[in-house]
Each structure stands twice: as C-alpha cells, then as structure tokens.
C-alpha cells in the first residue's frame, strides 16, 4: 500500500453518497487534512467541504479525536508512524464537470470534491482504489490515472505521483459508450454517457482525431515524432450528454465535457449533415478548446499557478492569455482540420466580436482586470454583469486576433504569426510557468521591436481594439447588419410561454432611460404618445415593429413585484452589428484560419 491510499465506493445511489476510506501509512503526530475549496480551471470558491459528512478517524481499533480548524481543515490527534484510517461520505448531486455526481444512472467525481489533502505529504505517491458497484453490474470506470491493477471494466487500483496529479484526473462511472483512436501515435479514448441509441460514435471519433492531430501539429509538427513530444502519453475525453447543458474542464491528460444530447452526431440519416449543424460545431469547438488547454494552461500556465493553493483563491491577471488565446485557437483548429469551412469560421468569429461589442462592461473593465476578478465577478454573474465586466474568453480571443493580424501585416515577408510566438513561448518557458513579460520578450525576440504599447492598450485599458482596420487589411469584409429589437432597446430577455421577462438592461440604453429593470415582466404597450394607437398584449419583442407601425413612442405596461407600472419608452432608430464575410477572390493563405 502507498503512503496515501484512498478507496472510493458508491455507497448509496439513491442518497447520492460516495464513501471514502483514506489510509495514511505514516501520519504526523497531529495530522492536518483539508478538502479543496476550488478546482483548477474553474475560478470560484465552491466550498466542496459542504458536501462532506460523517468524518471519523481510527488507529487500529482506537477512535482518534478530530478537531475542525476552519471551513475545510481538520486536525487529527493521532500517534505518528502508526497507520491512520479516516472514513467519510461525500454527497454528490451536481451534474456538472466541476464537482461530483452519483445516481442510479451514472457516477462522476473530481478528486478535489472527494479526496482530502494530507498536509505534509502532498508530494508522496497516492493510490486510488475504485470499488465496483455491485448493484450495477453493467457499470464501467474510466479515468486518466495510471492503472496498477484493474479489471476489464476499469475498477481496481490506480496510482498518482502526488496529490496534484490525483485530483487532476476525474473519474467517470456508469454504462457509458467507449471508443478509441490514435493521434500522431498517441492513444486517445472517448467515453460518452447519456447518449441516444442513434448516436454516431464513429463520426465523433473521426472528427475528434482530426482536432487532436491539428493541435499536436500546431505545437510539435506532424507524425509520430510529434506525438512523442506531447506532454501526455495517452488522453481521455469524458462526455456527459444531457437534455440541456454545456461546458468543459481541462485536465493534464483528460477533459470532462457536458453537452446537449441533440448536439451529438447521429446514425441512419436521422441528422442531416451533422458536421454542419450548429450544435455539433459548438461541441467540436468545445473539444478543441479543452484539448488545446493540454498545452496552454496545464503546461504553459500562469506563474501564480506554479503551485496550487487549494484553500483559497489563486489570483492572476493572465486568464485573457490562457483562456482567451485558447478560445481564439479552438475554432482556428477546426478550420485547419477541415471540420468547418471559411464561411462558418468567419461566422463564429463574427459572433465573438458581437458578444464583446454588445457588452457595455468593456468600457468599465480591462481584460486583465477581468482575469483577476474572475473569482468574484465572472463566475458570479447577475443582471449587471454585462454592464460592469468583460469576458476574458471573448475579448482575450480578440486580443489574440489583433496580435496575429498585426504580426501577419508587419512581418508578412518573414512569415511571422501568432503561431510562431506560441511555439516560442513553449520553448522559452520550458512548458512551464509564464509571466506577461515572457510574452513581451518573445514578441520582441521574433520581431525585433517592443510590443508594450499594444499590450497596454489592448489588455490593460478599456480602449477599443483595432478590429475593423486589421480585418479589412486581411481581406475580411465588414458590413453593417441590422440588429434585433432586444439589441436596439438594450435588453436581455427571456421569452417563454408568451411572456417577456426582463433579465438585464444595458447601460445607457433606451430601456434603461425608460426605467425598465431586471425582474420586470413586460405585459403590453400603449402605442403613441397618448396611446392613440391602442393598447396591446406583448408576447415577444419582435412583435413591436408590427404593433408600432410608424410610431416610435410607446408606454410599456410592466409588472414589478406585482405592481403595474406605465413606463414611457422611445424606440431608437435602426441599430446594427458587424457582419463579416470573405470575398470569393481572396486567397486562402491571407488569413489565420488557413
């Protein structure tokens, strides 16, 4: 048995309880343990200890006193050098990629939710014993941990070099579908839970293989020689298909994903051209994003993450680079893998630009500040988020676009691109911690000039990015497209069952001027300054043009806290957003996705 040994069993499927037995071969005299409060890759204190219960400790047959020191830390008054055995349960009912889940259909957990950290022995070898679920003989187990002695279904003993490795390898349990492929000689496995019988696993494997080969090729070149340079010797995709959901979380040699069942490719013509379907393209983009993270955030990573502190927030201003640049490349790799065409790529790029341009918070918060504030703002969104923050994913991706297009414009003859810089950073930082200065140094090394001005304007200020200029110079046509009524009014709404529910009001918008607020139900309207156009029920915003005719003034009839309000609203003239397109005569090599 290793110095630190965990046994995890599905104790009660109906009560959603995992039982964990932790054996410490050589504890300290006063052994301290803690459960993480967050999981790397998801920057929010989630207080996983709230789900831990019935903690007890023994040495031999003797019970040992436990003192809780704070919300997630316990001290065990034990004898040193004598094995200490702890037992506890973890409530698992969060069907996301971040925590743990257990019911009669499926089990899943991240080590950060289940495995107590043994202070002072974090670098010792850790073992994990996965117990088969006797009541579910069809269940299997899958994890990125290195197997020591397991059965054909994946249950048994696994090992990790240290605590960080242990908790960076989530575990999937259940009667999942499984398939495999090699990418540049590296074995990859894909497991899918919750898929419909029509699910086309072969299509998913083939498309994912192309993504993986494109990513490996990006960092290391092509062929098996490139595969030998990857930071992982094998890789596991774990996908949970649900009725409604989306997300992913990266790990060192695996990723946990969640998507809508309807977004999966299907057999027998039940889904026409699934590769071109928006939902499936979104799923492929998610796969590309999380796989690219294998290099950019799991190896190259913020210097603040060189050693994780699981007990509190770990702050960095660099998420615009690690999440934003990854978001930039996820769709580019789909294009380079020939999974989408030019038009689809440009459509996805236009969507990213629109998301940023329709966020008033970009005038309030820099993308560096957004990175630092992720712990209190990005993961705690409310009705004012759009007015006070900017996403380090979307604006970070546009910073990458601006860097790439500027490099291509100024150093076209030399063939320099952002690809060149990323691969240079991999070598400069030795696939390890990265500072913003490293990016500036690498940019200067490959171009011979200073880039501090661009980074200051694009990353550390709220100035607008030079998108139109750069896109036009690279053959992308930028036209104005008429926006919908929600954008014209400055509203975020939910339209379900004939009811218009206000979810958010944009800063300095017509809706804000009228006094509309999040939580309002917009019931109807009186048309014209004096209501001479009649009084009408409103079931969706796009009805407004027909109801208003040539009028622009109306009285919004609103329910707020069961009070009925009449709010004067003037509908602005036509609003527009950017529509990107690629002229047919533009050479394909002129832009980044080629």
Domains of the chain: 4-174 (2.60.40.3650), 176-274 (3.30.2010), 296-475 (1.10.390.10), 485-574 (2.30.42.10)
Detail the DSSP E strand segments found in 163-253.
171-174, 177-183, 186-193, 235-242, 247-250
Mean pLDDT of 185-203: 96
Per-residue confidence (pLDDT) for residue 524, from 0 to 100: 95
Per-residue confidence (pLDDT) for residue 275, from 0 to 100: 44
Give the predicted TM-score (pTM) of the model: 0.95
Mean pLDDT of 505-532: 93
Per-residue confidence (pLDDT) for residue 272, from 0 to 100: 53
Per-residue confidence (pLDDT) for residue 582, from 0 to 100: 82
Per-residue confidence (pLDDT) for residue 1, from 0 to 100: 61
Residue 276 pLDDT > 50: no
Condensed to tens digits (0 to 9), the pLDDT of residues 347-365 reads: 999 999 999 999 999 999 9
Mean pLDDT of 313-324: 98
Per-residue confidence (pLDDT) for residue 97, from 0 to 100: 98
Q: 270 falls in which pLDDT band (50, 70, 90)?
A: low
Per-residue confidence (pLDDT) for residue 216, from 0 to 100: 98
Coil, strand, or helix at residue 282?
A: helix
Q: For the chain, what percent of residues have pLDDT higher than 90?
A: 90
Q: 322 falls in which pLDDT band (50, 70, 90)?
A: very high
Long-range contacts from 9-13, C-beta under 8 angstroms, 24+ separation: 9/131, 9/133, 10/102, 10/107, 10/131, 10/133, 10/136, 10/173, 11/89, 13/102, 13/103, 13/104, 13/133, 13/135, 13/136
Mean pLDDT of 4-18: 98
For the chain, give the longest Cα–Cα distance.
88
Residue 271 pLDDT > 60: no
Residue 274 pLDDT > 60: no
Name the least confident of 72-86, 235-249, 352-366, 570-584.
570-584
Q: How far apart are CA 455 and CA 167, in angstroms?
A: 35
Mean pLDDT of 498-518: 96
DSSP for 462-517, please give it: -PPP-HHHHHHHTT-EEEEEEPPHHHHHTEEEEEETTEEEEEEE-TTSHHHHHT--
Per the DSSP assignment, residues forming a β-bridge with 68 are 74
- Please name the residue ranges forming H helices in 55-179: 111-114, 163-167
Q: Residue 34: how many CB atoms within 10 A of its CB? A: 19
């Amino acid at each position: 048995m290793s110095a630190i040994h965990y046994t995890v069993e599905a104790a009660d499927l109906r009560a959603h309880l995992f039982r964990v037995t932790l054996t410490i071969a050589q504890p300290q005299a006063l052994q301290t343990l803690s459960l993480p409060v967050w999981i790397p890759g998801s920057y929010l204190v989630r207080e996983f200890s709230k789900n831990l219960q019935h903690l007890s400790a023994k040495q031999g047959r003797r019970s040992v006193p436990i003192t809780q020191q704070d919300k997630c830390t316990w001290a065990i008054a034990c004898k040193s050098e004598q094995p200490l055995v702890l037992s506890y349960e973890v409530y698992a009912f969060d069907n996301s990629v971040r925590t743990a889940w257990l019911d009669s259909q499926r089990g899943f957990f991240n080590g950060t939710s289940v495995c107590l950290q043994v202070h002072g022995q974090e670098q010792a070898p850790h073992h994990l014993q996965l117990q088969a679920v006797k009541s579910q003989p069809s269940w299997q187990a899958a994890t990125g941990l290195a197997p020591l002695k397991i059965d054909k279904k994946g249950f048994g003993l696994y090992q990790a070099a240290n605590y960080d490795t242990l908790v960076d390898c989530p575990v999937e349990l259940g009667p999942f579908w499984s398939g495999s492929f090699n990418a540049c000689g590296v074995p990859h496995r894909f497991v899918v839970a919750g898929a419909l019988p029509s699910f086309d696993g072969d299509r998913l494997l083939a498309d994912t293989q192309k993504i993986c080969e494109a990513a490996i090729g990006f960092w290391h070149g092509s062929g098996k020689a490139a595969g030998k340079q990857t930071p992982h010797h094998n890789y596991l995709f774990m996908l949970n298909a649900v009725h409604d959901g989306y997300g992913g979380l990266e790990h060192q040699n695996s990723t946990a994903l969640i998507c809508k069942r309807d977004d999966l490719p299907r057999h027998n013509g039940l889904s026409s051209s699934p590769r071109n379907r928006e939902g499936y393209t979104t799923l492929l983009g998610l796969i590309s994003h999380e796989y690219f993270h294998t290099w950019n955030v799991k190896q190259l990573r913020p210097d603040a993450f060189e050693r994780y502190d699981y007990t509190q927030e770990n702050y960095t201003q660099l998420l615009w680079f690690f999440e934003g640049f990854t978001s930039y490349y996820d769709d580019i790799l789909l294009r380079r893998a020939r999974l989408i065409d030019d038009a689809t790529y440009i459509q996805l790029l236009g969507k990213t630009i629109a998301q940023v341009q329709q966020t008033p918070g970009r005038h309030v918060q820099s993308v560096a500040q957004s990175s630092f504030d992720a712990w209190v703002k990005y993961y705690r969104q409310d009705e004012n988020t759009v007015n006070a923050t900017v996403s380090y994913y979307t604006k970070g991706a546009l910073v990458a676009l601006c860097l790439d297009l500027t490099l291509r414009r100024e150093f076209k003859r030399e063939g320099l691109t952002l690809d060149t810089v990323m691969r240079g950073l991999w070598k400069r930082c030795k696939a390890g911690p990265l500072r913003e200065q490293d990016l500036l140094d690498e940019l200067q090394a490959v171009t011979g000039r200073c880039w501090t001005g661009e980074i200051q304007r694009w990353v550390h200020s709220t100035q607008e990015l030079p998108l139109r200029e750069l896109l036009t110079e690279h053959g992308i046509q930028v036209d104005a497209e008429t926006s919908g009524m929600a954008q014209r009014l400055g509203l975020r709404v939910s339209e379900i069952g004939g009811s218009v529910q206000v979810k958010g009001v944009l800063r300095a918008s017509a809706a804000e001027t009228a006094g509309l607020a999040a939580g309002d139900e917009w019931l109807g309207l009186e048309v014209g300054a004096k209501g001479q156009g009649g009084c009408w029920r409103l079931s969706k915003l796009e009805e407004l043009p027909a109801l208003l005719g040539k009028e622009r003034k109306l009285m919004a009839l609103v329910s707020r806290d069961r009070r009925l309000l009449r709010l004067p609203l003037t509908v602005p003239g036509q609003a527009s957003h950017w529509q990107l397109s690629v002229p047919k005569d533009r050479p394909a090599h002129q832009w980044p996705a080629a």
